[in-house]
Amino acid sequence: MPLTLPDRPAGGHRKVAPGAAAPAAAAPALRDPAWLGRVGLLAAAAVLLWPLLQATEFKPWALFDPEALRVSGRFLAGFLPPAHSADFLWLVARETWRTVAIATAGVTLALGLAVPLALVATRSLSVSALAGRMAPLPAALRHGARAVLIVLRSVPELVWALALVRVVGLGPAAGVLAIALTYGGMLGKVYAEILESGEPSVTQTLLRNGATRLQACAYGLLPQNAAELTSYTVYRWECAIRSSVVLGFVGAGGLGQQLDSSLKMFAGGEVLTMLLVFVALVALADRFSAALRRALG
């Protein structure tokens, strides 16, 4: 009498009798079920992007024209070799120090604008928000602070510099003030968003027990957002170094003004040396930011 195998053994697997064919494995889907939606999104993006490319006269194939390649080759060859005379390197070192000073002083003044405006604009630091709605006066102050931040960051630092050069004259002072105004709006806006994204329970407890905005921020929001705030501040300092170079083209001093002079004199070697200095400054700022994130992490 043949032995009958159970349908469901203890292991949960169905046993197959000798000589019986194994069940066929489920065939994988040959078509992505979401392919139609993805194709539709790509088509919509192409339809929207095409008029933008036409409006900007975007023609990348012009870069590979033989005449364009010949002109580009002659232009790039003028950058070699980089200038390395002792007098020029000393000039670059002095202007580099001035550029870093402009960026650092500008960001420091920007913090003086950004921190108080961010504290006022952050809703989770409002005592009147604890009841579930904003009182008229605090709400007006909060919206007023946000409006000031919008105005400050809406005007590019180059425009601020052009206006301030007429007020304070040529030199680094115009660059410092231009960076302070624009970056004050940028830092304040992002600081407020970072603080509002934190866990508000500790902050609300401190406010309910009589703590001020500054105390609630220092003991409630800063500990959980310190790394992100520091990283963004260092990133903005790095951006301020690049901005100070651009501001030098309008007479705000620093390495940018020297770069403008070298470009006008077609001194490609000097330009290449200063560009290498820019790369080194950005690399140092990146390492500094990484070290701070590790220390605060």
What CATH number does the domain containing 162 carry? 1.10.3720.10
- What pLDDT was estimated at residue 136? 46
**Helices 172-196 and 136-154, packing angle to 10 deg:** 140
Spatial distance between the Cα atoms of 224 and 179, rounded to a whole number of angstroms: 28
Q: Report the range out of 21-30, 124-133, 246-255, 259-268 with the highest average pLDDT.
A: 259-268
pLDDT at residue 25 tops 60: no
Is 52 a domain residue? no
Over residues 75-92, the mean pLDDT reads 83
Quote the radius of gyration of the chain (alpha carbons, Å). 30
Spatial distance between the Cα atoms of 249 and 243, rounded to a whole number of angstroms: 10
List Cα–Cα distances, 54 to 40, 47, 189, 246, in angstroms.
22, 12, 34, 29
Task: Report the candidate in 243, 259, 250 with the shortest Cα–Cα distance to residue 95.
Answer: 259
Confidence category of residue 133, pLDDT binned at 50, 70, 90: very low
pLDDT at residue 14 tops 60: no
Q: Report the range out of 63-72, 110-119, 160-169, 240-249 with the highest average pLDDT.
A: 110-119
Q: State how many domains the chain has.
A: 1
pLDDT at residue 130 tops 50: no
- What pLDDT was estimated at residue 50? 83
pTM of the shown model: 0.70
Task: Name the token pair of 179.
Answer: 């960076």
Domain of residue 215, residue span: 86-296
Task: Name the token pair of 226.
Answer: 């310190």
Is 90 a domain residue? yes
Over residues 126-145, the mean pLDDT reads 60
Q: Report the range out of 21-35, 52-66, 246-260, 262-276 with the highest average pLDDT.
A: 262-276
In percent, the amount of the chain with pLDDT more than 90 equals 4
Spatial distance between the Cα atoms of 291 and 81, rounded to a whole number of angstroms: 34
Is 44 a domain residue? no
pLDDT at residue 132 tops 50: no
Is 267 a domain residue? yes
Q: How many CB atoms lie within 10 A of CB 142?
A: 20
- The dihedrals phi and psi of 151, each to the nearest 5 degrees, come to -65, -45
Whether the CA torsion 82, 83, 85, 90 is positive or negative: it is negative
Q: How many CB atoms lie within 10 A of CB 102?
A: 30
Is 135 a domain residue? yes
**Helices 222-247 and 86-121, packing angle to 10 deg:** 140
- What pLDDT was estimated at residue 31? 67
Task: Report the candidate in 135, 136, 140, 142 with the shortest Cα–Cα distance to residue 120.
Answer: 142
List Cα–Cα distances, 106 to 65, 142, 145, in angstroms.
43, 25, 20
Is 100 a domain residue? yes
